Structure formats: structure tokens, C-alpha cells
Chain A
Amino acid sequence: METTLKDSGGIGSWLATNLGRVLVSLIVPVVTFIVLWQGFIFLRDTDAPKIVIVLVAIIWGVGGVAVLFAVSNWLVEKLPSQWVYHLQPFVFVGPGVAILFWYLAFPVIRTIILSFRGPAGTGFVGLDNYIFAVTDRVMVEAFRNNLLWMIFGTFFCVSMGLIIAVLADRSRYESIYKAIIFMPMAISFVGAGVIWKFVYTYRGEGSGISEIGLLNAIVLALGGESQPWLQQPPWNNFLLIVIMVWLQTGFAMVIISSAIKGISAEVLEAARIDGANEFQVFFNIIIPSIQGTLITVTTTIVIFSLKLFDIVRVMTGGNSGTNVIANEFYLQRFTYSSAGRASAIAIILLIAVIPVMIYNLRQFRESRAF
């Protein structure tokens, strides 16, 4: 009897002494929520000068996330220590996992469902969207072009990257050369599109008209005739692939170059002393030593060229026989408003990367990081 009384008295006094704390625990999240919500409303409806909006947006966005973490952690740490032990991991991992599921994991399933539905995402149409995606003339052309991108784009990126990496390794000015080749990595595909559109530009014949595009000027200087390059299938695909090579060779070069630096100098020295010439060193020592890296780089660029969108969108819009899968995805969803077909195309892109996904998972399991 006495103990229970004591206990209930204990709870009562705990409540009495901690009422303030409980109240604070309620007020802080509410105030946080109100402040963040007001920020959202302000950003959505304001007519303030742009620069003010931008500053508020940055502070609100970055600060908001930091505050959310701090407040939820503060709340959890108020609880008894056994609870803290179980709940705190979710404060840390929860937001990241929630966003991953919302933006990537669930959409995989939702897109699969949508791919069996009609244009507006309603009604069941069976395999119609997939039949369109693999048999329609437009899609077959897109597949052919993506294949060109994947084969030629990847081949030239990796081989140019390899050649430049090997050559630069033997030069005193290595870092300058590498910075120049690498530089296009920093700029957008849209910007690169403008650069190359200007190279390929065509003005036609007529008096007093001179070609201002570099390619046509070179062709004219060599005695040829100027051409509207981007409108001539199938060669225009290769002119677009040149842009990708210009952009991505730097990536291949940097990764390969660091692998070459990892080859032990003694092995190379020994081979040269044994009378191997530079070509033998290259094919019998350098290439086998960096095989793994070459495969990684190739895979990365193949996936990149599979998803390629911006260059084609900006340069030709997919016209003149240059369409690619990702551009057709965009056209289906946003120009022809067919969510179903777009989803089927997205699923095809996903299926194409599944081997890489399995490879990554296997590597992860073998690495025993856990």
C-alpha cells in the first residue's frame, strides 16, 4: 500500500516538477514548425526583390534542415536513456532514408505500375506501352542512336582519356594539360551545346555571306562546300557524339591517370631495362595493371550515354534522326502527355542498368564494410 502511494506520489511530483519541461517540449516543435511554414508561405507569395528572396530561400532551406535535426534530436534526448538508445538512430538515419524511399525506391514501383496504364495514369492497358517502347519506329531509331552513343562515345572517351593520361604522365607540364582537358567537366551540357552549335553553324550560299561556324570555314578553306551539318542523318549523330567526347574525356583521363600513378615505378623500370620498348610497356604492363579501372570508367560512361538527354535536346531536339531514349521519355511525358509510355521507357532504362546494380551489390557484399 505504502509503496504504491509513494509511487503515484512519485508520478504526480514528477509531472509537477517536469510540467515546465513537458510544455517546453511541446512548444519548441510547434514554434519551429510555424516559423518554417511562414518561411514557405513568404517564399511562395512574396513580391520582394529577387536578391532578398534568394537570401531568404538559402537561409530558410539550409537553416530549416539544420534546425529540424537539432530539434528532433533535442526532443529525443529529453526521453529516458533507454528510449534515446532506440530512437536516436532514427533521428540520424530517418530523414535520409525517408527521402531515398520517397524519391527513388517507391518511384521504381510506382513507375512499374504506371507503365501498364494509359496516358493519364488511369486504366489498365496491358503491355501496350512496352510494345510501343520496343517496336515503334521512333523508339527503334532512338535505340539505334543510343547504341551509337554507347559504342562510339564510350570508345573515344576512354581511348582518348587513356592516351592523354599516358602521354601526360611523361610530361613536365602534366597538370596544365590535364586541367585543360578536364575543364569541360565543369560546364553544363547546355553550355557545351551552345559552344558546339556555334562550331557547326551554317549560313548557306549567297553573295556577301561568309560562314561563321568553324567547321564550315575549315571545310571551305580545304576546298569543300559548307553544309547544314546538324540536319544530315546519320552523320549528325557523330557530330553530337563529338560533344560528349569533348565533355567526358576529362573524366576518363583523371580516373585512368590516378590508376597509372599507382603502377609501381620499379616494375616499369625493370621492363625497360630488360629491353621492352614503350609499346610493349604500354600493352603488357600498363593496360593489364589498370584493367579494373578501365572497366569502371567504361561502365560509368556507358551508363552516362544511356541516360544522355541535354545535348540532344539543346542541339537538335531529337529531330533529323538524332533522337535518343531519354529525349523520347521527355517528349512522351511532357509533349505528348503520355505518362504510361514515358514510364515504360523509364523502366527500360532501369532494366539496362540492372547488371551494374548487381555488380555494385556484389562488390559491396564482398567488401564486408558491415
Chain B
Amino acid sequence: MNTPSRSLKGQKALSDFLVNATLILICLIWLIPALGIFVTSFRNSTDIFKTGWWTIFPHQAYMKTGEINIDPSVDVNGPIEIEGVSHTFEEWRAGVVMPDGRQLTWFGNKRTRLVEVQVLEWKWFDTKLTLDNYKNVLTGKEISFTDASGQVVRAQGNDLSGAFLNSIAVAIPATIIPILIACFAAYGFAWMNFPGRRLLFTIVVALLVVPLQIALVPILQDYTKLNLNGTFLAIWLAHTGFGLPLAIYLLFNYINGLPRDILESAFIDGASHFTIFTNLILPLSVPALASFAIFQFLWVWNDYLVALVFLGDQNRVLTSALAALVGEKGQDWHLLTSGAFISMIVPLAVFFALQRYFVRGLLAGSVKG
């Protein structure tokens, strides 16, 4: 009787399983690269170069259990016989698996005459994790660490903590200032009457997709004349300028959609535009403000080009500091990975805490290029 429904159920369960399996696979592909730098940032700088980061997870590996010294009389240029098995030097150096499962590997060059005995064993979690990388990359003072070849290197720290503070000093005002200015402007466009209102707003819409590269050359000229280069004010204003079209557009759409009766009854009560704006419109617009704020904050925090052009090397923000690190110490993965992770903490926290607002902002703003 109920076989058809049971087979339908079975089909449903199967398709559910396939859907989830595919999604889990895709999510793993998405997560693994990020997991790689996260794990690496906690590993010792010498370990990073010896083995891949995935080896901290349980896996089978050859572990050294002993050594064999080769008699000086053996000719290392011909085939070398060890424990009855004969191979060339190159083959021994690459490692030879013996009939009993042990692996023998020649250590170093021909003169060492040393062979390591290794046995395949399960290795559980590697617990040799350290916070040193973070200490090194954060400090501005001198640091020392052992590099891949075992030498102790002394170097100037990368002062990412300074860059972190700069990022905060750039991102918070560069988020709030455009919102404040855009909110006033959006209110003006939505509720006030003045000549050129329609034309000005058309210009705002036209500017939504203008690439900011257009502005960099002339604005840099202005900043050089005004002696503003490298100051926080310069980059706040730049981010404000580049963020304003979207901000005005989004907030206008929101404020324009608020019920007209509120404004009229407030006017009858004798309130001025300014009072209505600060006491009524601002509190009512909080959802739209939050959406744009997260959008702008992440954009500014993650921006590299504008900071590179207008801040230069003084007051370096995290992205520029990290990019400089990639350029100068491209193989120092213990510094790069911990630096990269430091640059991601704040935006990830903001993102996960306020994801709902962020998505709302994205949906409203998808007209922007």
C-alpha cells in the first residue's frame, strides 16, 4: 500500500543527502585555504618550512627511530649496500623502503655517512603551537627568531599593532563622517525644496559607478598643494567622497519612504527641520544607517588602493603594512600568516555579529558597480 510514498521518502532522503554532501564539499574547499594560514600562524617558524601545515592533524608519517653509520671503507660513489639491499647514493638519499617496512634515508651529503632509520607511525595532533609569531609581527621593537636554516635572525618588528591603531583611526571616522553628511543630504533631497534638486540627485546617481581611479590623480595634486598628504583628514575625506554617492542614494531611498504624516505633524507642532532630523529621522533610520555603516566600515578597513595613495608610509594601515610585508619578506610565512590573520579579526567579528544588516545593505546597494 504505502510503498510509493516510502520510495518517495527514500528519494527525498537521497536528494537531501546529495545536496548536503555537495554543499559540505564546497564549504570545505572554501574553508581550507583560510584554515591553512590560521594553523600556520601558530606554528614555529622552523616547523613551517619542514612540513606542510596539514601535518598537525593526525596522519601517518615516517618517524626517526635510529641511525646507521656507514663504514668509511665503503665507496659512496658506486652502489652502496646496506643491510643486504643495494642502491645508488641518490636513491638512498631519496629514501628506500626496506622489505620489513622500515625506510632508510641517507642524511645530508656523501661525507656524513649517516643513514636514518624511519618507521611509519601514526602521528596524532601536533601540539607544538606558539604565539611567538603574533608577538613578533605586532611589536615595533627588535625581534629575533630562528629561520629555516637554523640561524638566529634579528630584525626590526613589523609594528602591526601601530598599523592596527591606524586602521581604527582611519576606519571609524571614514565610516561615520560620510553617513552623517549623506544623512543630512538625503533628508534635504527627500523633504526640502530647493532649486536644482532634481539635477543634483541625477548627478549622485550618475556618480554611483564612476571608478575611483578617475579621482586619484587630481585629488593627489590638490593634497600636495594643501599639504594634506599622509594625514588622517586626507583619507577620511577621500573615503567620504568615494562612499557618498552610494550613501546618499541608499539613505535617500529609505528616508523618502518614511511616512509623510510624521513630518507634517511635527511641522504643525512648530519643530524646525533640524529638530525633526535629529529627533525623528535619525532614530527612525537606524536600520538603513547600520546597513550602510557595516558596508562602508568593511570597505574602508579592507581598502588598499586609497590608503596606498593618500597615506603613504606614514600612518600605514593594516592592509598597506601587510602588503609591504608580502613585498619585503615574501617567504617569512610565520609573519605573513599571523599578520594576515590580525588584519582579518576585526572585519570577521563585525561581519559575524552584524551579518543580517550587511546582507540588507548589499541587497539595497546592488546598483553600485
Residues of A at the B interface (CB closer than 8 Å) are 40, 43-44, 50-51, 53-54, 57-58, 61-62, 65-66, 69, 73, 77, 86, 88-93, 95-97, 99-100, 102-108, 110-111, 114, 121, 160, 164, 167-168, 170-171, 173, 177, 179-191, 193-199, 201, 203, 207, 210-214, 217, 246, 251, 254-255, 258, 278, 296-297, 299-300, 303-304, 306-307, 309-310, 313-314, 317, 326, 329-330, 333-334, 339, 342-343, 345-347, 349-350, 353, 356-357, 360-361, 363-364, 369-370
Contact = CB atoms under 8 A, between A and B. Distances in A.
Interface residues of B, number: 125
Given A185-B351, A364-B205, A190 B319 contact: yes
A126 B240 CA distance: 34
A190 B343 contact: yes
Contacts of A212: 48-49, 51-53, 333
The 3 closest A-B pairs by CB, nearest first: A103-B241, A96-B185, A303-B369
Contacts of A121: 221
Given A103-B238, A349-B213, A361-B206, 18 more contacts: A54-B168, A61-B177, A65-B177, A73-B274, A93-B188, A99-B181, A99-B241, A104-B210, A179-B355, A186-B348, A188-B303, A194-B322, A194-B340, A195-B34, A346-B217, A350-B210, A356-B209, A361-B205
Nearest to A181: B30
A187 B348 contact: yes
Nearest to A365: B202
Interface stretch (B18-26, B66-74, B260-268): B18-26
A186 B304 contact: no
Contacts of A188: 301-304, 318-319, 322, 343-344, 347
Contacts of B232: 43, 57, 61
B146 interface: no
Given A100-B207, A197-B326, A62 B37 contact: no
Contacts of A108: 210, 214
B153 interface: no
B331 to A, nearest CB: 8
Contact of A300 (B194, B344, B366): B366
A300 B368 contact: yes
Contacts of A61: 173, 176-177, 232-233, 236
B363 interface: yes
B139 interface: no
Given A189-B302, A364-B205, A114 B217 contact: yes
Contacts of B36: 195, 198-199, 214
A22 to B, nearest CB: 21
B34 to A, nearest CB: 6
Q: Which of B15, B48, B219 has the most CB of A within 10 A?
A: B219
Interface of B: 15-16, 19-20, 22-24, 26-27, 30-34, 36-37, 40, 48-54, 93-94, 108, 162, 165-166, 168-169, 172-173, 176-177, 180-182, 184-185, 187-189, 192-194, 197-198, 200-219, 221-222, 231-233, 236-238, 240-242, 244-245, 248, 252-253, 256, 272-274, 277, 298, 301-305, 308-309, 318-319, 322-323, 326-327, 330, 333, 336-337, 339-340, 343-344, 347-348, 350-352, 355, 359, 362-363, 366-369
B369 A356 contact: yes
A62 B181 CA distance: 11
Contacts of A103: 215, 219, 237-238, 240-242, 244
Identify whether the interface residues of A are mostly helix, strand, loop, or mixed.
helix
Contacts of A307: 211-213, 369
Contacts of B188: 89, 92-93, 96
Contact of A246 (B33, B202, B304): B33
A3 B302 CA distance: 69
18 contacts: A40-B231, A54-B169, A62-B176, A65-B180, A92-B185, A96-B181, A100-B204, A100-B248, A104-B245, A111-B217, A181-B30, A188-B301, A188-B302, A191-B302, A199-B33, A214-B52, A246-B30, A345-B213
A254 B274 contact: no
A90 B277 CA distance: 15
Nearest to B326: A314
A121 B48 CA distance: 49
A187 B302 contact: yes
A346 B348 contact: no
A342 B209 contact: no
Contacts of A326: 213, 305
